Amino acid sequence: MLARVEGPVHGIPVVLLHGFAVDHRILTSLEPVFDSAGAWRRHYLDLPGHGTTPGDGVASARDVADAVVAWVEDTLGDAPFAIVGNSFGGQIAREVAHRLRARVLGLALIVPVIEPVHERRDRPARTALREDPGVVATITVEAEGYADMAVDPTPADAAAFVAHVAPGLGAADGATLDRIGRDYAIDPSPEEASSEQFAAPALILTGRQDHSVGYRDAWALLDHYPRATFAALDAAGHHAHLERDALARALVTDWLERVARELAFAPPAPTPPTG
């Protein structure tokens, strides 16, 4: 599996997992947050069948999670790390975080898939707070996808879609996506499989007008994440971190600060015996 790495060579690793049918670029809009937050070494992964990563041998969401766990173990060794998951990548991030719980410093979920079965999702109806055909007309690639997702279209929002979403849509491997789509659920979910709460600092960022995955299913998980900040952003759909970028960046900054404080307060490792 391939990764694009950003940030300082010796920073704290943070693994970023994108959503379905896009690639790592959907999360690179968060780069200013990491640049300001200090020594975080960012690992932007292209999941199997997405971006530059081939999908050979991958036929389910669990296969994708297995591939990410293998990548973490091969690349990061025993080092602790934080993890960010967007949409489908949120389902994968939750699974990875629970499997490798002892090493995970924090978990951030951005418009995450919680209920993998589309028909069972508790989601609002498609809502456009404002229509602006002029903004949509400026988009020359994947314009239909933007128009379907946009809640309150603006030139900045459209530019973010073109820079961070559209390139991944054009790079995905349809055959791999079809295989994963037929076995899209990790069952049981990581929260159902583990009775132990996930106690590391967490962020669950959702869009109030997200008609793709909604926000209520994520709300139902809060008891499992006692250190989670939950936000349902108004005027935001499934691209909430691009549509409400300033607020989303502030929430991610707060999450990183909470993770850093936990690191500062952690007791030092025991000194090995001598002699």
Percent of the chain topping pLDDT 90: 84
Q: Are 49 and 177 in contact (CB under 8 A)?
A: yes
Domain spans in the chain, listed from the N-terminal domain onward: 3-123+172-265
- Give the chain's mean pLDDT: 93
Query: 64 — alpha (psi -120 to 50), left (phi > 0) or beta?
Result: alpha
Give the pLDDT score at 140.
85
At 217 the pLDDT is: 98
Contact 84, 27 (CB under 8 A): yes
How much is the pLDDT for 3?
Answer: 67
| Residues 62-94: tens digit of each pLDDT | 999 999 999 999 999 999 999 999 999 999 999
Say how far apart CA 62 and CA 165 lie, in whole Å. Answer: 24
Q: Rounded CA gap, 20 and 177, in Å?
A: 8
Cα gap 29→42, rounded to integer Å: 12
Architecture of domain 3-123+172-265: 3-Layer(aba) Sandwich (3.40)
pLDDT band at 203 (very low <50, low <70, confident <90, very high): very high
Interval 34-63: pLDDT, tens: 999 988 999 999 999 999 999 999 999 999
Instruction: Measure the CA–CA gap between 144 and 138, rounded to whole angstroms.
Output: 12
pLDDT in tens, 212-255: 999 999 999 999 999 999 999 999 999 999 999 999 999 999 99
| DSSP type of residue 198 | -
Structural tokens at position 172: 């995905």
Structure confidence at residue 270 (pLDDT): 56
Consecutive H or E run containing 45: strand 40-45
